[in-house]
Amino acid sequence: MCEVEMAELRGIYNILATPFDPTGAIDTGSLRNLVEFQLRCGVDGLTILGVLGEAAKLSVAERETVLQEVVSVVQGRIPIVVGVSHPQDETCLALCRHAAAAGAAGVMVAPPSRFAETDENHLLDYYAQLADGIDIPIVVQDFPPVNGVTMSAAIIAQIATNIPSARYLKLEDPPLMRKIVAILTLNPEVVIFGGLGGMFLLEELHSGAAGTMTGFAFTEILIAVERAFRAGNLALAERIFDRYLPLIRYENQPLINLTLRKYILYLRGAIAHPDPREPYEPLGHEAQEELTWVLQRVGIEDPSEMIQLEETEV
């Protein structure tokens, strides 16, 4: 089991979308372009093959394609966390090992849905078995809507205590700030990343989160908030966050948040085609018009341009 420095994984991690061409095949050209786009935004790391990455719609071979393409573009410049959640334990472990062999900095694993009806102490054995099979960190994914498994603050803290390489957490189980405080009270060594589109980033940081892993399409906004907060300039962090909160809120709508994010990435020139792989919820003309209205309200006239956030501008 590995011992890793907590400082290796923290900050703003973009949950990378998986671009598809009009036939539904992985668009590797857009994927490589999207990685470079996120690097220009200044991300601290990338999390690939998560929910936004539509991993559940990909075959194992397609997952490996995405991993290899991303690794080849990043070339060690930033850490890559790889989503490897799978209902079959053997497949999950194989994906973990493949990610480690490819040079990933960590893997993200949600508990399989079978744990929804069992004693949550069984989660200790599950994550221990994974940790014994790899030598890179595990990010425990706490997102009950995906798998129906709700993890208490106590079990998350205990996982981190028993399995040092699994002391990383992607938390998306509201009320978020209450759970962050509860976990850190039990075990201050847990490194917690928020999510949910960045809707609570400022409050998460204030409660002790180490950063966020989310797919919000204007990554540079989240980076600016986090940088200002870490520098001790809370007033600036508040101004940036509050200015763009209508966009963050709008983009994270249930059912269409994936479609919206990929559409915005398309408008930004990061991917060539906006549609997710079937099945997905289409936007419709009304949502596209609403998005334009929201962008104008927060002062984004041309979404294709990188937002330069300076104190004098906000």
Task: Report pLDDT for 309.
Answer: 83
Task: Report pLDDT for 311.
Answer: 52
- pLDDT, mean of residues 226-231: 98
Residues 6+ apart with CB under 8 A from 183: 153, 156, 157, 169, 171, 190, 192
pLDDT of residue 2 exceeding 80: no
Matching residue, tokens 């054995």? 125
- pLDDT, mean of residues 249-267: 97
Strands, DSSP E only, in 195-294? 211-214
How remote is the C-alpha of 299 from its chain's centroid? 26
The crossing angle, in degrees rounded to 10, of helices 284-297 and 257-267 is 60
Instruction: Write phi, then psi, for 285 (nearest 5 degrees).
Output: -65, -35
pLDDT of residue 8 exceeding 60: yes
Structural domains of the chain sorted by starting position, each given as residue range(s) with its CATH number in brackets: 6-234 (3.20.20.70)
- pLDDT, mean of residues 49-70: 96
